[in-house]
Amino acid sequence: MTAITPSAVLFDCDGVLVDSLEAAATAWDAWATRYAPGFDFRTQIEHGVRAADTVATLVAAGLRDEAVAALDAAEVASAALTEPIPGSVALTSRIPSGMWAVVTSATRELARRRLAAAGHPVPSALVAAEDVGRGKPDPEPYLAGAAQLGVDIAQCVVFEDAEAGVRSARAAGAGWVVGVGDHLGTAVVDARIDDLRSAEWRDGSLHLRG
């Protein structure tokens, strides 16, 4: 077992705290029939980046604002299909409220709906897609998360499930990066776990098994 005593914990949302794959696929597949025929969410999506950044690679410039708005609405509509990642609700419920934040590539409304659907408290510290000028893998999101909590990013542990998110955390200077799940690709992490059943908050420290 590994024990870490950070100043704060920064969680990615989708794939770390919530399982939104089916919810997202439902929205993206319906959206793609109108805006990106031939795009297959399950095999072609780059996990961990903002939806608007992906749309920009798929849709002509003159149609992008409309396409992003349509996708945002579709994802919000399917958010109720979201489920918790195993062990995640137990973990977030035990960390003191001022010591953790969510740093996500989702929009604020979507993140809040997915967290609530999965049974998580919605933290006051939440960095969403619209809060930053540059999304993951840029370091800005994780720097913003640490700033919201008033802590040094070097004293934060980050939980991430995607290569873009790991690169963001590393570039920001996060003290520890824990990889979750099987979408990490070649990302270099300090520890790797299947889900949050392998993480426990106890006596002011984070304990990792496996």
**Which of these is catalytic: 14, 19, 72, 161?**
14
Residue 180 contacts residue 193 (beta carbons within 8 Å): yes
| 113 closest CA partner among 96, 95, 128 | 128
Q: 12, 19, 72, 161: which one is catalytic?
A: 12
Please say if 131 is a catalytic residue.
no
Q: Nearest-5° angle of CA 58, CA 60, CA 61?
A: 120
Q: Over the range 133-156, which residues count as b (16 or more CB within 10 Å of their CB) and which as e?
A: eebbbbbbbbbbbbebbebebeeb
Q: How many whole angstroms separate alpha carbon 141 and alpha carbon 81? A: 26
- Could you give the C-alpha distances from 87 to 19, 59, 83, 135, in angstroms and in order? 12, 38, 12, 27
Asked if 190 is an active-site residue, the reply is no
Structure tokens at 106: 């989702």
Enzyme catalytic residues: 12, 14
